[in-house]
Amino acid sequence: MNIFFNKLHIKTRVEKLRKAMEHNGFDTTIIFSDENRRYLSGFTGEDGNYDESAGILIITMESLILATDGRYETQAAAQAPLYNVFCYKENIPKELPSLLASVNARNTALETSRLTVDLYNKIKIGIEEQASDIILSSADTFLKHLRIIKDEHEVGAIRESLKIAEKAFLELKGAIHEGMTEKEAAWFLEKAIRENGADSLSFDVIAASGPNAALPHAVPGERKFRKNEPLLFDFGARLNGYCSDTTRTLIMGVPENTFKAAYETLFNAQKLAIDAIKPGIPCSEIDKIARDYIEESRFKGAFTHSLGHGVGIAIHEAPRLSKFDETPLQAGMVVTVEPGIYIPEWGGIRLENMVWVTTEGAQVLNETGYEDHIVQ
């Protein structure tokens, strides 16, 4: 079952948004982002470039409007049956004021995080000229945590996307050989993810070898895999709109001391962090547990990014396992736990699992472990 087409789930999500609107004093919310538009309506149309839009949602306490253009009119009507579909003939800035007037909007919250300055200014000017009694404010503060708690259907969708990604990785692992290039490995993994049933990738595959593995977001190139070097793979599948995200680091041949020490350090740091995850613990505390362990090892200063992030419809969403995020963990959150050690000119290792926060603690969603990280 595609959860996006279940009216009950959409109704529940809309009601959650309406409660947040009421709490913050808004009678109307305008949704622009792909993710929230899909989450709240079921409409799967995606924006093209940064200056293109597949449509907007206008949500009030009584009304639901999906405004889109002729490319998506039929699709919107089929995928978002709870919404009145409005097909605009010109563009959003010109037609938005009259749409807002039709629902008697006054205190209006606008999702601004994805808007260009140009589009925001056009919307603002249009409202000031045609509907000056409307007060326009940002919705981003209360939208930030809209999708932060996943229900059992969402967790199930994430599990299925992760199964596909892990199955594809095991296929790659069996095909790795000396002389294979990073690009060849990345394409092998992408192809396997799609052939195993994914709708798409969560993000472009990272395949990095040797010194390139010291770059957390390395771009696969023509470098060939060699023995006794770290081989880092960061990958994920998207299925029914939900993402997965996992990193595994392998080595061909016999691991030397630096690799073994770094791998063990990360394994222990990750386990300590996952064991500490439970409702009520601040995200920053989980980051600190893993970071302190690494800092007290011989790899002080080599962990250069935050420990993890939420995953759902977007590959990166709230909360963040970061020293800057004091959000208390809650049952229903899904986060990555991905400590890394990066040593310039040598390489890097990252271990990443996906974790579901439950009332009892953390449940690791991954089915593949780290036991067989040596490729012969």
pLDDT tens sequence across 304-337: 999 999 999 999 999 999 999 999 999 999 999 9
Q: Which residues sit opposite 67 in a β-bridge?
A: 56, 86
Residues 214 and 197 sit within 8 Å (Cβ to Cβ): no
Residues 55 and 68 sit within 8 Å (Cβ to Cβ): yes
- The per-residue DSSP string of 240-265 comes to TTEE--EEEEEEES---HHHHHHHHH
The DSSP secondary-structure symbol of 134 reads: -
Give the C-alpha separation, 36 to 364, whole Å.
Answer: 26
Residue 356 has pLDDT above 50, yes or no: yes
- When pLDDT is cut at 50, 70 and 90, the band that residue 3 belongs to is very low
Residues 349 and 263 sit within 8 Å (Cβ to Cβ): yes
- Spatial neighbors of 320 by CB under 8 A, at least 6 apart, are 283, 306, 308, 309, 310, 327
Please report the pLDDT score of residue 84 as a whole number. Answer: 97
* The model's pTM: 0.94
Buried b (16+ CB within 10 A) or exposed e, 253-290: eebeebbeebbebbbebbebbbebbeeeebbbbbbbbb
Average pLDDT over residues 78-104: 94
* Nearest one of 8, 323, 334 to 156, comparing CA atoms: 334
Q: What is the residue-averaged pLDDT of the chain?
A: 95
Q: Which residues sit opposite 249 in a β-bridge?
A: 232
Residues 290 and 271 sit within 8 Å (Cβ to Cβ): no
Please report the pLDDT score of residue 19 as a whole number. Answer: 96
Residue 1 has pLDDT above 90, yes or no: no
* Nearest one of 181, 11, 27, 212 to 105, comparing CA atoms: 27
Please report the pLDDT score of residue 50 as a whole number. Answer: 73
Residues 147 and 313 sit within 8 Å (Cβ to Cβ): yes
| Residue ranges per structural domain of the chain | 3-143, 152-375
Residues 240 and 199 sit within 8 Å (Cβ to Cβ): yes
Please report the pLDDT score of residue 355 as a whole number. Answer: 98
Residues 76 and 85 sit within 8 Å (Cβ to Cβ): yes
Please report the pLDDT score of residue 369 as a whole number. Answer: 87
Give the C-alpha separation, 223 to 31, whole Å.
Answer: 43
Residue 252 has pLDDT above 60, yes or no: yes
Question: Which tokens go with 359?
Answer: 């009332």
Q: Which residues sit opposite 232 in a β-bridge?
A: 208, 249
Average pLDDT over residues 230-258: 96
The CA R_g of the chain, rounded to the nearest whole Å, is 23
Residues 1 and 29 sit within 8 Å (Cβ to Cβ): no
Please report the pLDDT score of residue 322 as a whole number. Answer: 98
pLDDT tens sequence across 196-239: 999 999 999 999 999 999 999 999 999 999 999 999 999 999 99
Please report the pLDDT score of residue 8 as a whole number. Answer: 87
pLDDT tens sequence across 25-51: 999 999 999 999 999 999 999 887 777
The 3-state DSSP composition of the chain as helix, strand, coil percent (nearest 5) reads: 40, 25, 40
Please report the pLDDT score of residue 353 as a whole number. Answer: 98
- Spatial neighbors of 362 by CB under 8 A, at least 6 apart, are 274, 275, 277, 278, 355, 356
The DSSP secondary-structure symbol of 352 reads: B
In the three-class reduction of DSSP (H, G, I as helix; E, B as strand; rest coil), residue 56 is classed as strand
Give the C-alpha separation, 329 to 134, whole Å.
Answer: 37
Residues 97 and 130 sit within 8 Å (Cβ to Cβ): yes
Return the percentage of the chain with pLDDT > 70, whole number.
Answer: 98
Which run of H or E residues covers position 234? Answer: strand 230-235
Find out if CATH 3.30.1310.10 is the number for domain 3-143.
Answer: no
In CATH terms, the fold of domain 152-375 is Creatine Amidinohydrolase (3.90.230)
Average pLDDT over residues 113-125: 91
Please report the pLDDT score of residue 6 as a whole number. Answer: 79
Residue 2 has pLDDT above 60, yes or no: no
- When pLDDT is cut at 50, 70 and 90, the band that residue 376 belongs to is low
